[in-house]
Amino acid sequence: MDADPPDLDCFRLVDEPYYTPVGNEIALFEAAYRAQVPLMLKGPTGCGKTRFVEHMAWRLQRPLITIACHEDMTAADLVGRYLLDAQGTVWRDGPLTQAVRGGAICYLDEIVEARQDTTVVIHPLTDERRVLPLDKRNEVVAAPSGFFLVISYNPGYQSAVKDLKESTKQRFAAIDFTYAAAAREADIVAREAGIDAGLAEKLVRIAAASRNLGHRALEEGASTRTLIRAGKLIARGIGAAEACDMAIVAPLTDDADTRGALRSVVAACL
């Protein structure tokens, strides 16, 4: 017997998540949603992919179920499993199955972190079938029109052992994300961290310098997220240099020479 649609009200965003578009990504997302074309967001860490999905879920008035992917995640973690309780053996839907039954937006964050034998479970949801087979229940769950599948990953972390299968990639339309232009990024940092525009501009200059180091010293430079965290610490009374060291320099690298170079950048920009 098919299960009743779950109550997903707790996954609805009541307040609008702040998001500043950098291009026409809002129109692209809405078009993909209306056409039921699953979507892949590609871009560096902390550039706003997750906030964008949250904003779009609020904009489209859909529940949002976010799944943080990791290498130990199994297909059962996504679709569900039988469990023992006081009444005996019962089936418990996983978050993907909940999203399908309830017509939610399902966001698989950093999907490349999941094992490839796990991610193939989403394939029947990404073509004209739009179904989720639950083999252990002998059930096939058809996705309602409101269901939408979104995945994200960071192409900078691609390797021979950590990448999406081509058979998975080509099931999705894709939007490339990058960091906002300096003035817009400063506006975002100032608003989110609660600091003045001048300080936000200095933090953005620090980030730009760190990103220019590239793979010679850092896998990735400071993200917009790290700048907001530094700004929040400064807003709480921590000195600007110390806050940058705590939120930007120390998390980015353990190499003494690279830390020294970043601290010189911080001192010059502040």
Of 142, 158, 176, which closes a domain?
176
Average pLDDT over residues 153-175: 80
Distances (CA, A) of 115 to 102, 119, 127, 134: 26, 7, 21, 19
Of 176, 201, 236, which closes a domain?
176
pLDDT of residue 161: 54
Residue with tokens 């996983």: 94
Tell me the pLDDT of the chain averaged across its residues: 92
Please say if the pLDDT value at position 267 is more than 70.
yes
Note whether 138 and 212 are same-domain residues: no
Note whether 154 and 227 are same-domain residues: no
Note whether 67 and 100 are same-domain residues: yes
Of 176, 211, 229, which closes a domain?
176
What are the residues whose beta carbons fall under 8 Å from the beta carbon of 206, sequence distance 6 or more? 222, 227, 244, 248, 265, 266, 269, 270
Q: What's the CA gap between 169 and 130, in Å, rounded?
A: 16
Please check whether residue 50 lies inside any domain of the structure.
Answer: yes
Please check whether residue 4 lies inside any domain of the structure.
Answer: no
φ, ψ (nearest 5 deg) of residue 126: -105, 5
Average pLDDT over residues 77-85: 93
Name the nearest CA neighbour of 249 among 222, 212, 209, 216. Answer: 222
In contact, 231 and 195? CB cutoff 8 Å: yes
Note whether 172 and 200 are same-domain residues: no
Q: What's the CA gap between 232 and 117, in Å, rounded?
A: 40
Please say if the pLDDT value at position 122 is more than 80.
yes
For 28-65, letters b (16+ CB in 10 Å) and e give ebeebbeeeebbbbbbbbbbbbbbbbbbbbbbeebbbb
Check residue 246 and report its DSSP letter: I
Note whether 158 and 235 are same-domain residues: no
Note whether 165 and 69 are same-domain residues: yes
Instruction: Please indicate whether residue 156 or residue 145 has the higher confidence score (pLDDT).
Output: 145
Average pLDDT over residues 30-55: 96
Average pLDDT over residues 45-59: 96
- pLDDT band (50, 70, 90) for residue 160: very low
- pLDDT band (50, 70, 90) for residue 147: very high
Check residue 45 and report its DSSP letter: T
Please say if the pLDDT value at position 18 is more than 60.
yes
Please say if the pLDDT value at position 55 is more than 70.
yes
**Range from 82-91, 97-106, 249-258, 259-268 carrying the lowest mean pLDDT:** 82-91
Which residues form the domain of 90? 9-176
Check residue 144 and report its DSSP letter: P
In contact, 149 and 33? CB cutoff 8 Å: no
Percentage of the chain exceeding pLDDT 90: 80
Torsion angle in degrees (nearest 10) through CA of 23, 25, 28, 30: -130
Q: Residue 175: what residue type?
A: I
| SS3 category, 230 | helix
Percentage of the chain exceeding pLDDT 70: 94
- pLDDT band (50, 70, 90) for residue 268: very high
Average pLDDT over residues 140-159: 88
Q: What's the CA gap between 25 and 97, in Å, rounded?
A: 27
pLDDT of residue 116: 81
- pLDDT band (50, 70, 90) for residue 140: very high
Note whether 168 and 253 are same-domain residues: no
Token representation of residue 213: 């180091």
Average pLDDT over residues 84-91: 87
pLDDT of residue 158: 55
